[in-house]
Chains A and B, each alone.
Chain A
Amino acid sequence: MYVAVKGGERAIENAHAWLAEERRGDTSVMELSVPQIREQLALAVNRVMAEGSLYDPDLAALAIKQSRGDLIEAIFLIRAYRTTLPRFGASQPIDTANMTCDRRVSATFKDVPGGQILGPTFDYTHRLLDFKLAADGEVAQAPQREAAQAKVPHVTGFLNREGLIEEAPHDDTTPRDLTREPLEMPADRALRLQALARADEGFTLSMAYSTQRGYARNHAFVGELRIGDVVVEMDIPELGFAIDIGEITVTECETVNQFKGSKTEPPQFTRGYGLVFGQTERKAISMALVDRALRWEELGEDYVGAPAQDAEFVLYHSDNIQATGFLEHIKLPHYVDFQSELELVRKLRRDAGATPKQEANE
């Protein structure tokens, strides 16, 4: 018999009150402000914006504070908020060739036009804890040098000129949008890139790493990695022309991959692409490697059964909000489900146990 039960309201209220108190922590320690998180935990903010799929540093910082630093919980909050917003429209595709680069490195060409610009990177640090940060201290001003105003060209453009690398031909097909329709297979590249751009960083990193270790190996060079600001332009119907509606920081990674050629294509380099909100280079590189692995079919490569080649596996398991939602729901009450399982196991045991007992009686 099914018996509906109610209860727990007071326990839930009290749990939430205690959560608020624990979130605040020791009140003799100064409270963290949202602007402090936005400015000083910027890479956490960037990850929440990228995987929350909503560019708004203040909201992401608020979500990190509310979630006590649990970034997946923060991403959940951002995704939930995002669904409440009316959509004004879609931007014109951002032009990353016009990025003002904070960082721009190429692992394939030393003397690349525009130069190797390291930017504010952890690379080449010694990964030793810096105890000076534990004490209050002024930070020295970063050195400056006069900058050339020229726009920084994409590295793949140089290989394109020689015909050594596949082209990414311009087209203006309206992309499918997985926030508007369910993600269904087969997923074209535009849909895969959208899913990867908001995919969990850890999952994407592991998938990318698996390709490096030999599961669908597609030896990747970072042709170019760039981080910087791009303007976002949108057509405004009431004006009849497009205007900049903002400026965002993005990380872009283009990989250059070996390709032996196929029935239709001569040997040349192929490309993987990563583009992510914020300064998020581990994610952008991972995205480019996974994008390249998922392109096996259009490039006429063999399917070797590697996880990173399996679009359905990758795309249906890359979203940490879907994953955590399904995973964590199993801790919520399943009393009735379990009751029926219990009945079933008892019945099976009775059925199984009846025969030996009869045998023993004989």
Chain B
Amino acid sequence: MKDTIDDINPRKEWLGTLAKSPEGRVGALLDQVMARPDFTWLRMPEIGSVMVRGRAGATGSPFNLGEVTVTRCSLRLADGTVGHGYVQGRRKACAEAAALVDALMQTENAADIRVAVLNVLEAERTEARTTRAAKAAATKVDFFTMVRGED
């Protein structure tokens, strides 16, 4: 199945992590690891939209639900490595940082970036999700049966 192949694509994973990152976080973490390398733009950061689709009855035919804002850019490092940045929202600086991280993950800096940027983003996301899930779980109804009077 296509999904199974996608699931083991590490670049797909990190690009997804970068896209969902909070405002300013990728750039801040990147700047803590290393000085930003020189690059040339292949595509300057641009703000656009993506039409989000749903499925009728959750599983049926697709329909257009509405759009979401997305910022994207592409750049090339001096050694020729190409990085793509896609982030949700209108965030040109974040798209640039994401594209740099994508490019650097294909270079000898990958291990450092993995530890200091991607692992941190993933941990923060997991923590936020866990907290939210725990709050939801606390609102789960525990039913109990009342004892009936006539018995």
Residues of A within 8 A of B (CB): 49-50, 53-56, 58-59, 82, 85-94, 96-97, 100-103, 110-111, 115-120, 142-149, 154, 156, 168-175, 177-179, 189-191, 193-194, 197-198, 231-234, 236, 238-239, 241-248, 250, 252, 254, 271, 273, 275, 277
Contact = CB atoms under 8 A, between A and B. Distances in A.
A100 B132 CA distance: 9
Contacts, number: 229
Interface stretch (B31-39, B63-71, B106-114, B116-124): B63-71
27 contacts: A55-B66, A55-B67, A87-B49, A93-B53, A100-B129, A101-B136, A102-B132, A110-B143, A115-B141, A116-B140, A116-B141, A143-B135, A144-B131, A145-B137, A154-B58, A171-B62, A175-B53, A190-B62, A234-B50, A238-B84, A241-B6, A241-B12, A242-B12, A246-B88, A247-B20, A248-B52, A273-B58
B76 interface: no
A145 B134 contact: yes
Nearest to A168: B57
B15 interface: yes
Contact of B133 (A147, A191, A193, A231): A147
B146 interface: no
A248 to B, nearest CB: 6
Size bin of chain B's contact surface: 35 or more
Q: Is the interface of A mostly helix, strand, loop or mixed?
A: mixed
Contacts of B141: 115-118
B40 interface: no
Given A56-B69, A243-B15, A189 B56 contact: yes
B68 A232 contact: yes
A89 B70 CA distance: 10
A112 to B, nearest CB: 10
B57 to A, nearest CB: 3
B77 interface: no
Contact of A88 (B12, B16, B72): B72
Contact of B16 (A59, A119, A231): A231
Residue with the greatest number of chain B CB neighbours at <10 A, chosen from A55, A92, A116: A55
Contacts of A242: 6, 12
A55 B69 CA distance: 7
Contact of B48 (A88, A93, A149, A168): A88
A85 B135 contact: no
Contacts of B16: 231, 233, 243-244
B52 A232 contact: yes
